[in-house]
Amino acid sequence: MAKNKEIILGVCGSIAAYKSCEIIRKLKEQRFNVTVVMTKEAEEFITLLTMQTLSQNRVYRGMFDLLEEEFDPEHVSLAEKSSLILVAPATANIIGKIASGICDDLLTLVIMAAKSPVLIAPAMNEGMWRNKILQENINKLKKFGFIFIEPEKGKLADGKVGVGRLASIEAIITKVKNIL
């Protein structure tokens, strides 16, 4: 069904980064090819080796990490081969950078160069989620055609119950399949 569809999975620095492992597994079960782009902050939560092992592909991190075999401006080549860019978990930081056109890491560069749809799955504490600046950034991105899957209400990393928890893996996978 999804054979030859390329998903670029952007993983950001959130405690929910561990859930990206299950996202990769489920996407692979649906026969998607998954290439991971991690932010520097994501590496504080999950390892490169884990992402590479699960995706069975090279994991991209830095803006200036070039392929050893040949020159390949990664942000352009990754963007060109993507059928969909999925950012999960997406932090308030990455949403703000995308909304402002800031490209200071590989993930924001890939998103800026992309012609494929971009699906953003936020994960953060409730105070950050409800912040008016974040909500304005989300509305701005929606106007430009970015697709969001809303976070859920549940127990958050800070121990409180509120809205901000990453959407369920099943909901994310369903949304990806619907887009493609």
Residue 40 lies in a domain: yes
Contact 46, 11 (CB under 8 A): yes
Residue 1 lies in a domain: no
Mean pLDDT of 31-35: 96
Number of domains in the chain: 1
Q: What is the mean pLDDT of the chain?
A: 91
Residue 128 lies in a domain: yes
pLDDT in tens, 60-109: 988 766 444 444 555 467 888 899 999 999 999 999 999 999 999 999 99
Residue 146 lies in a domain: yes
Res 34 pLDDT > 60: yes
Report pTM. Answer: 0.91
Residue 35 lies in a domain: yes
Q: Give the Å distances, CA to CA, from 75 to 55, 88, 134.
A: 19, 18, 25
CATH number of the domain bearing residue 27: 3.40.50.1950
Residue 96 lies in a domain: yes
Residue 31 lies in a domain: yes
pLDDT in tens, 99-141: 999 999 999 999 999 999 999 999 999 999 999 999 999 999 9
Domain interval for residue 51: 6-179
